[in-house]
Amino acid sequence: MKPAARTRGMHAAALGLMHAMAIGMCTIATVDPAGAADAAPQGPATILVMDGSGSMWGQIDGRPKLEIARETVAAVLEGVDPARSLGLIAYGHRRKGDCADIELLVPPASGTAGAIRQAVDGMRFLGKTPLSAAVRQAAEALRYTEDAATVVLVTDGLETCAADPCALGAELEAAGVDFTTHVIGFGLTKEEGAGVACLADATGGRYIEASDAATLATALAETVAATPVPETPPRTHFPGAPMMPDIALEPTGQTFGPDAEAPADLPFPPEGSIARCAASCEGDRLCAAWRYEPKGSYFVEHARCFRFAYDAEMDMRDYDPSEGWASGMKPDAELLVRPYKPAEEAVSSPVPVVIRIGEAHAGLPVGWSAVPLDGQASEAVAMPEAITGDWQTTLEPGAWQVEGEAPTGARFTGRIEVAAAEGGAAQVFDLPQSRGPTLETDGMGENAAAPAGGGAPR
């Protein structure tokens, strides 16, 4: 800052400080008041809870914190919308050592900036820091159980009156309709800030550190003087996706938004593909969406491609995957009158499976394992110990290499194909002996699979 600009700079810093004090040393509570006669209130009513304790005589950059706070609050108030409902509570500003020294100096109402500025200028800084009780009183003044309310507390110290700010935050959040507390820690260390940040966290507010006049001004501006963000109007049109399989975009016949130039009609080969239709739109800045109609649709014996402008309102229709329809919409286009939800990929459920060996080997304990083949994402399956009799398990649909080994050295291997199935019936596979001692009968059973090719389902 240039020396000649000191007055203007201090004025801006005072604004920021005032804003911060409204949050920390003073708590600003907000409700929905009746409002001024000529203007509707901007956002919920807010009470600034101001720290008037003796510690405010401490200095930052060679100046008392109370002086910085007064100037900053005054500057911030100049930027507050007159329709904004604001009030002021102070604590520790009248008596030393009195935890009950809390006063509503300015009730929340529109057009109170001047009154708050005068009240802050007249404050003395003497007493203790009953910040929890002050925040509670601000919330009650704002009828926080009935209306939306915001409190901005500016404090340069921690609670000194045997109260728990964290518990208070949880209590106010549970009972409030739409209650928020912002806390500005003016000159607090990170460790000290953690002791009051919970009050903001519990109510969905912000804890902001302010270490000097400039950061205090910023904090107050962001909490006290900030213009409420208008609610986003409900969406009326929705995006699609660059590739929408089995979907036909259908114009509603309506247009919306700024007029947009339509893409030119282009010749499309009778045997043209979905990819070609999509590419013709992708390379055209006027094309927002496309629709591919497969050969034979609507009794037309050739494929067709339609392209649409950015102002064309669209609905959509689902088609069976076997028919070959597709559509697409560029990422910057929002044309649909209802949300597009991509079809979820079918998830195959595990299928009951029975692995058998020949009757001649039926008495052997066999240790079994199954390893997925052909790039399946399934995990391998293995028995923790050998079993006697059929191996009953569940496997996901697909190809598996199944192996079993007996203590005698007999080994049974084969590739099986597990089919997807809706019912609960188990699929049965007979595995041949691949090596090891040959028993009196290889006994694969009358339904055994060919030894070289692996198991066959039953």
- The CATH number of the domain holding residue 401 is 2.60.40.1120
pLDDT at position 359 is 80
3-state secondary structure of 244: strand
Answer whether 0.85 is exceeded by the pTM. no
CA neighbor of 314 nearest in space, from 288, 281, 342: 288
* E strand segments, 212-361: 238-239, 244-245, 247-255, 289-293, 304-308, 312-318, 326-329, 334-336, 351-356
Could you report how far apart the first and last alpha carbons of the chain are, in Å? 88
> Partners of 102 in the beta sheet?
91
Are the C-beta atoms of residues 252 and 289 closer than 8 Å to each other? no
pLDDT at position 344 is 65
- Assess whether 361 and 258 both reside in one domain: no
Domain boundary among 192, 223, 254: 223
- Assess whether 92 and 148 both reside in one domain: yes
- Assess whether 154 and 211 both reside in one domain: yes
- Assess whether 319 and 356 both reside in one domain: no
Domain presence at residue 414 = yes
- Assess whether 72 and 216 both reside in one domain: yes
- Assess whether 332 and 356 both reside in one domain: no
- Assess whether 256 and 308 both reside in one domain: yes
> Cα–Cα–Cα angle for 182, 187, 191, nearest 5°?
80
- Assess whether 211 and 289 both reside in one domain: no
- Assess whether 11 and 140 both reside in one domain: yes
Task: Report strand pairing: 411-418 vs 398-405.
Answer: antiparallel
Tokens in use for 409? 């050295």
Q: pLDDT in tens for each of the 458 residues of the chain?
A: 333 333 334 333 433 433 333 333 434 344 443 333 344 445 688 999 999 999 999 898 888 888 998 898 888 888 888 888 999 999 999 999 999 999 999 999 999 999 999 999 999 888 999 999 999 999 999 999 999 999 999 999 899 998 999 999 999 999 998 899 999 999 898 889 888 999 999 999 999 998 888 888 888 888 887 655 555 667 789 999 999 999 999 999 999 889 999 999 999 999 999 999 999 999 899 999 999 999 999 889 999 999 999 999 999 999 999 999 999 999 999 999 999 988 765 556 788 999 998 887 778 899 999 998 876 667 788 887 888 888 999 888 889 999 998 888 888 899 999 888 766 688 999 988 877 665 443 333 333 333 334 444 54
pLDDT at position 172 is 94
Half-sphere exposure of 57 (CA within 13 A, CB side): 9
Are the C-beta atoms of residues 146 and 71 closer than 8 Å to each other? no
pLDDT at position 231 is 59
The one-character DSSP state at 241 is -
Domain presence at residue 205 = yes
- Assess whether 166 and 130 both reside in one domain: yes
- Assess whether 308 and 374 both reside in one domain: no
Tokens in use for 354? 């029975």
- Assess whether 200 and 243 both reside in one domain: no
> Partners of 207 in the beta sheet?
183
Domain presence at residue 418 = yes
For residues 211 and 359, give the distance between their C-alpha atoms in angstroms, rounded to a whole number: 85
Task: Decide: residue 251, CB within 10 A, 0-12 exposed, 13-18 middle, 19+ buried.
Answer: middle
Domain boundary among 306, 336, 366: 336
Domain presence at residue 79 = yes
Tokens in use for 191? 């460790």
CA neighbor of 88 nearest in space, from 114, 67, 63: 114
Tokens in use for 132? 């929890």
For residues 55 and 208, give the distance between their C-alpha atoms in angstroms, rounded to a whole number: 19
For residues 278 and 291, give the distance between their C-alpha atoms in angstroms, rounded to a whole number: 8
What amino acid is encoded at 347 in this protein?
V
Domain presence at residue 302 = yes
- The CATH number of the domain holding residue 217 is 3.40.50.410
Helix ranges restricted to H, 127-247: 131-141, 165-175, 190-202, 213-223
Helices 6-21, 213-223: inter-axial angle, 10-degree rounding: 50
For residues 113 and 122, give the distance between their C-alpha atoms in angstroms, rounded to a whole number: 14
Domain boundary among 160, 195, 223: 223
Total structural domains within the chain: 3
Domain presence at residue 216 = yes
Residue-wise DSSP of 37-52:
SSS---SS-EEEEEE-
Backbone phi and psi for residue 135, each to the nearest 5 degrees, phi listed first: -65, -40
CA distances from 355 to 123, 367, 404, 414 (A): 88, 12, 10, 10
> Cα–Cα–Cα angle for 376, 423, 390, nearest 5°?
70
Domain presence at residue 73 = yes
Helix ranges restricted to H, 78-164: 113-121, 131-141
pLDDT at position 377 is 63
CA neighbor of 226 nearest in space, from 72, 50, 81, 120: 81
In total, the chain counts a number of residues equal to 458
Domain presence at residue 444 = no
Task: Decide: residue 439, CB within 10 A, 0-12 exposed, 13-18 middle, 19+ buried.
Answer: middle
Query: Domain range holding 420?
Result: 351-435
